[in-house]
Structure formats: structure tokens, C-alpha cells
Amino acid sequence: MIRVGLVLCGKVLFFKFLGVVEIMKMRTFCAYVAIAVPLLLSLVTPTVGHPHMWVDLESRVVLNIDDGSVAIQQVWLFDDFFSTSVIEDSSLDPGGTNAGIQKEIERITEALKPYNYYTEIEMAGKNLSSTLVGDVTWEVIENRIKMSFTVAPNESSVSDVQGWSYAIFDPTYYIEMLHEEGATITIDGDLAQKCSSWIEQPNPSADAVALSQSTILDNNADDTVGRFFAETVHVSC
């Protein structure tokens, strides 16, 4: 029940940059959570730390020598509690549940745009911004929302991909985003046979762990802590 409350309140924080309306819808509920949860958790743990939402990741690299394009295909599978909150809210949409979910997906996509869709790409020693390629699609699988989309780095081409990396993460670590344990990254496109990839697992320091546990649920969340807990996918060609 505590986790449900945190995730529902997390929905507001995840959309906090969308406008006042979405925030006010659950402001009262979040105020209750802010008071009640610390009291309840004090019985079992001294702090309320991150993360509070979970996304299971899949990603695939596409390298095409013909047009010089580089792309990262991503699949985000949201946790059951967050998905349930979105589905239940969407059921009240005048257009029906599917129309309501579509609106939420559009809001999520628009909200992620200033943050490079939570994708950090490093090529030739530079961090590159990302552009959405094509449409964002979604489906519900066993009551969990699955969102799929593709991003491409700006100012890059296959000539830059001899050795590069990317990471997909929430900078505040409010959301934990990880590939399935033991996952491999598929490389498609013209250079697939000439490139390899591997996932470097995060190894946060004791200070980073302490920081994640001390970060409270407010608008002043640290926007650097998430990198310490992010996987890094390395691609070599």
C-alpha cells in the first residue's frame, strides 16, 4: 500500500513540468502521502529514498552505412502500480480507456523531450542531444503499459561509432530503469556484423547510495544522482 501511494504521487512528480492541472489533480493525495508515508516507514526504515517507480528496459542499436544513420530503439515497460494508475485514470476519459492512455503517452513523450528522452549518448567524447524518430507506440501487456520509440543522436553519423556509449536513466533516480538481468543489446543495420556491444552495470559508491536515500520527494530532487545507478551500453565497431 505504501508503494502504491508513492507511485501514484510519483505520477504527479513525473509530470510536474506539464502544467498546473495535472499537479493539482493529486495535490491533496500527495500531501497525505507526504505526511503518512514517513510515519509508516519510520517503523521499518529511517529514510524515504529513491527509486519509487520502475521501468524494465529493452534497447536495440541500428546502424546504417547507406544513409549514415544511428538510432536507438527503446521499449519501456512501466511497473504494475504506475500502469494501473494510468489505466484507471484513463477509463474516465470521454473517449474511452485507449484514448485516455494515448493522451498520457503523448504527455509523457512531450515531457521527456527537454531531457533527451532520458537517453544520454556519448560519441567522440561529447554528450549529444537526442531526437525522436517516428511515432511512439504503446500496448498493455498483463496490465502493464509498454511504450516503444526510437531516438537518434544529433550531429552524428556512422563515422563516429568506432567506440561510443549510451545510457537510459532518470537523472533524479526517482525512476529506476534497467535492462533485464543478463540481457544483450542487438545491433541491426549494415554494420551489425562489424560491431559488438556490452552492458556495464552500475557500481554506485557509498556516498551515491546515501544521497539516493536522503533525496526527498519534492521539486528540488537532485538531478545528478541517477547517473550513478544507470547502466552504460558500450558499442564498438
pLDDT tens, position by position, 60-93: 999 988 787 899 999 999 999 999 999 999 999 9
- Please check whether residue 6 lies inside any domain of the structure: no
Q: Is residue 54 part of a domain?
A: yes
Give, for 212, the enclosing helix (H) or strand (E): helix 206-214
- pTM attached to this predicted model: 0.78
In a domain, 188, yes or no: yes
More confident residue, 189 or 125: 189
Count of the separate structural domains present in the chain = 1
Please tell me the predicted confidence (pLDDT) of residue 30: 40
SS3 18: coil
Q: Domain for residue 133, yes or no? A: yes
pLDDT at 49: 60
What residues make up the domain containing 115?
Answer: 50-236
For residue range 143-166, list pLDDT tens digits in order: 999 999 999 998 777 666 778 999
Find, among 207, 236, 237, the residue nearest to 224 by Cα: 207
Burial of 141 (0-12, 13-18, 19+ CB in 10 A): exposed
Q: Is 42 contained in some domain?
A: no
pLDDT band at 37 (very low <50, low <70, confident <90, very high): very low
37, part of any domain: no
Neighbours of 134 (CB within 10 A): 12
Residue 26 included in any domain: no
- In which band, very low, low, confident or very high, does the pLDDT at 139 lie, cut at 50, 70 and 90? very high
pLDDT of 226: 86
| Torsion on CA atoms 103, 82, 171, 29, rounded to nearest 10 | 90
Q: Is residue 176 part of a domain?
A: yes
